[in-house]
Amino acid sequence: MPILDDRIFEFFSHSPAQTRRLGVHLGGYLRPGDVICLEGNLGSGKTTLVQGIAQGWGAVDPVSSPTYVIVNEYRRPDAQRLYHLDAYRLENALEAEILDFDRMLSQGSIVIEWAERIKAALPKSYLWIRLVYTAMEHRNMMLSPEGKRYEVMVENLRRKIYGDF
Ligand SMILES: Nc1ncnc2c1ncn2[C@@H]1O[C@H](COP(=O)(O)OP(=O)(O)O)[C@@H](O)[C@H]1O
Ligand SMILES: [Mg+2]
């Protein structure tokens, strides 16, 4: 559990569209080498958020759930890549070592569903997002930056969404 502090941004989504919009903002910030980790149960909105992230990033490919392939790759006209991982079927971090994070990070950004399953294999800084189902259309999202790069990203996002006050 992250310690609750002012670097953490808590967002209350009231609809799938709102979750996608949060993702669009986030996707706009992504640069090659960035990692976003998503933690949350089935139906908590991880893939919905990724749809927004891919849109904001500029993907020309549609987002689909990668549950059966582990990694989906989305393209952009400038040859950068967005890798969409689903660690659901990975048993542990050892299995995640077949994933070549270094290669992916040199070519683009990574977003990982069920990241908690492969925590030991993850790069050491990332933006961690925990999604929780709170009601039919309500999801609580806790964005916890791990590393300076993501602290800045979260602060920019907070300002964009709520303004300076
Ligand atoms: N506020 C919300 N944010 C995201 N999804 C929501 C929200 N409200 C309802 N939903 C619905 O919940 C489901 C989330 O599914 P999905 O994004 O595939 O979750 P996961 O990838 O975590 O299993 C979708 O059917 C979506 O329409
Ligand atoms: Mg999913």
State how many domains the chain has.
Answer: 1
Tokens of 72: 């989906």
Closest CA to 145 of 163, 161, 158, 160: 158
Residue 165 lies in a domain: no
What's the CA-to-centroid distance between 78 and ligand 1, angstroms? 30
- Which of 48, 129, 133 gets mutated to test ligand 1 (max ligand atoms within 8 A of its CB)? 48
Atom of ligand 1 nearest to the CA of 51: 17
Residue 41 makes CB contacts below 8 A (sequence gap 6+) with 132, 133
Give the pLDDT confidence of 17-35 residue by residue, as tens digits: 999 999 999 999 999 999 9
- Which pTM does this prediction carry? 0.94
CATH number at residue 133: 3.40.50.300
Residue 43 lies in a domain: yes
Which ligand is the nearest neighbour of the Cα of 72?
2
- Mean pLDDT over residues 133-153, rounded? 97
Q: How many residues does the chain have?
A: 165
Which residues constitute the domain of residue 34? 12-160
Residue 116 has pLDDT above 80, yes or no: yes
How remote is the C-alpha of 69 from its chain's centroid?
18
What's the CA-to-centroid distance between 80 and ligand 2, angstroms? 23
pLDDT band at residue 82 using 50, 70 and 90 as cut-offs: very high
Pairing of strands 81-86, 71-75: antiparallel
Residue 2 lies in a domain: no
Residue 105 lies in a domain: yes
pLDDT for 2 equals 52
pLDDT for 12 equals 97
Residue 120 has pLDDT above 90, yes or no: no
Q: Whose CA is nearest to atom 27 of ligand 1?
A: 16
Give the pLDDT confidence of 34-76 residue by residue, as tens digits: 999 999 999 999 999 999 999 999 999 888 876 666 889 999 9
pLDDT for 164 equals 63
pLDDT band at residue 4 using 50, 70 and 90 as cut-offs: low
Amino acid identity of residue 165, one-letter, is F
- Mean pLDDT over residues 144-158, rounded? 96
CA distance to 46, 82, 122, per residue, from 108 (Å) = 20, 6, 15
Ligand 1 site residues, Cβ closer than 6 angstroms: 13, 15-16, 18-19, 40, 42-48, 113, 137-139
Helix, strand or coil, per DSSP, at residue 105: helix
Give the pLDDT confidence of 83-111 residue by residue, as tens digits: 999 998 887 777 777 788 999 999 999 99
pLDDT band at residue 125 using 50, 70 and 90 as cut-offs: very high
